[in-house]
Structure 1
């Protein structure tokens, strides 16, 4: 897995290709090789592919950033297990339904960004319905088929089927299982229903757990409450998760701890590359074909040349955040990035953080030379007010509001100027004035 946001931008953009586009099999490899280029070029690509998306197409969640490969059992073993054995589920004997979902798999095989990886093109065997059953959100099924790659290797392509609003089968996702570097997204689950509110988890020989919500602590994003999945006749149906369309609050993992994929296609109209939420972004212009985040330099380092740029700042924040979920790769520094140094000499990089449709927060990375970096996850940001984050160990306060003049007070004397846009205030500060509006700290 990579935590390089520059490359993630390209991956997300590639996932937004329109249905009429047929990218070459090595497109993802080309994108990876280009991943270190200037961020403005990535944004131009993302914007162009977003236009294609709006013309009508499919997108996929979770292929932008994946956790480490689950190795027990290997992906190839999962694929063979899905192909082997009889169809399971209470619709296993409904020949008409099995034929319908098999035909849907064949018709819609290429309707996924996975086609750019060359895994949808050459069948190497018949399609097999692994499971077909009735859920609380209508009928659902899983269709698997062995596919031959251009280089001769083989993978197992999987189509996940639910029931559309018209009552007919609809493709809700896809994934593939292979070996080596062709392991796919490790999807052992998928969501069905108009609001994607029923989670279907396949029994592929893995002990699986699921979690409904992320937890934000002072220094990380995590999940603390995992529930075991209980399988019956090859599947588990979980319906207490609430609407998941465009939200992705649910996650599944192997009991050993490695995240597994949820193989759904997302709604194109809700999957917009590099969307901002706070309205702080720098407008697009001739030099930047897509809008840039506000780039703010704090304190006395203005004008120096050793500051990380936007791309490097995002990489530093991604590394600070650590492993993140396959279905909700984080959006980092979309509206603003702040760089500077505390009074104690620690380098500071901060920016906005959003996962799924969770509220926007602030992610801060502090690094004192010779010590390990310190990570701070701030509270929910009020778009109408400033960002205010208490830094640990009496390092002070980070206050950010683009365009605003700042000053501070400890309640015992005059207001002290703190510059414009953002500042690191002393730990003893009790108030900050943003423009003319005082804000109490603490």
Structure 2
């Protein structure tokens, strides 16, 4: 090593370094070091920049993986039908449609998730992301043929306000008799109509609907009322009574086409208005014996009916705003009102109480009352008849003279044979023979 050092010294003995050489060498070293640092910084920036862009791209990717899946269904290879479905979706999802649903904008292209055959004809499930107040949500629509004019249309769609965990379900076809559930998380079950036992209790029987290619489709071929159909998703055979909040909601396509986002759920009663509105001064009528404490006219009738299994399971229920209540001469209480359940006609119910005010039982009355009486209910054990007709004056008799009731409702004796009903609009009274 010492020999090498001596040789190098001897070889440069006559070489003279220029002025400032050492300083330039140091500056060059500093520049090279700075360049290396800059390169490192740029590399880090590039890495983070790519990561940032990548994060942005990830954010722009749909959160719903279904939007990136290949179209399912037995008609997935029909390019013409796929194009028709996306065209129908774009046509329907205009500015007014978005405004009704609170959607600021749509993102990406509409995606046909499923295209398949049904008994109502070819149908497609179309999805696209929409920006609502709480972020991006997957909007789902059903595209199929409108039997009214044979045109391909959006016959139903979800809204950002719908529960995000509930499976999307649709109702369409002639008579709105075809039901379709998208991606049920368990087995979809259907019930065509309620069963009513001899004591008035309501229950349902459920049948499974197979899921094929991510979609469960069922058509009501029983000839029954489509409004009576109910759907539920369950991991096992559903019970005879399923809570209303577990049922899948569908909107009949006919109603959707007419009212859009305001379409009524399947089974909802038309209008939803019961007789004797709240503005009437006769909404709470006490009749019968003046002694004793009658039941409260504001008892939770809906809860009582549900506990007694007297109601159907459905998306809507309406109670009349009028109630006739009181005590029979033996001190026992009663309350009579009407209830309308899920599209069926109004039914009169009688709640019977014991002398201590406890509920004894609930009676479902016959669907028809002695016309023109709104209510003609015969209490058990000879306790009399509860008769009522809003806006009228009532008289009754057994075999003798007519007796005035003084109001449009009364508890009349059990042996009453006739009730006279006078309505101002009729001009003359009508006589009702009470059945014996």
User: Normalization by structure 1: what TM-score?
Assistant: 0.60
1:30-429 matched pairs, under 5 angstroms: 80=64, 83=67, 85-109=69-93, 118=102, 120-152=103-135, 154-164=136-146, 165-176=148-159, 183=163, 186=166, 188-216=168-196, 222-233=202-213, 234-242=215-223, 248-255=227-234, 256=238, 257=242, 258-267=246-255, 268=258, 273-275=271-273, 295=283, 297-299=285-287, 316-322=300-306, 328-333=315-320, 337-343=322-328, 349-365=335-351, 371-372=358-359, 374-381=361-368, 384-386=371-373, 387-391=375-379, 396-402=384-390, 403-407=392-396, 409=398, 418-425=405-412, 428-429=414-415
Q: Give the drift of 1:123.
A: 3.0
Q: Give the drift of 1:91.
A: 1.6
SS in 1 for 2:227: coil
Q: Give the drift of 1:139.
A: 1.9
Higher relative contact order (CA 8 A, sep 6+): 1
**Higher helix residue share:** 2
Between 345-354 and 122-131, the greater mean CA deviation after superposition: 345-354
Identify the residue that residue 12 of structure 1 maps to in structure 2.
Answer: none
Computed over aligned residues only, the root mean square deviation of the Cα atoms, in angstroms, reads 4.3
SS in 1 for 2:81: helix
Say how many residue pairs are matched.
335
Q: Give the drift of 1:211.
A: 1.4
Q: Give the drift of 1:350.
A: 3.8
Structure of greater Rg: 2
User: Normalization by structure 2: what TM-score?
Assistant: 0.61
Aligned: 1:439 with 2:433: yes
The 2-side partners of 1:159 and 1:134 are apart by: 16
Between 342-351 and 399-408, the greater mean CA deviation after superposition: 342-351
CA contact (8 A) 1:360 1:381 kept: no
SS in 1 for 2:387: strand
Instruction: List runs of 5+ in structure 1 lacking aligned partners.
Output: 1-78, 283-287
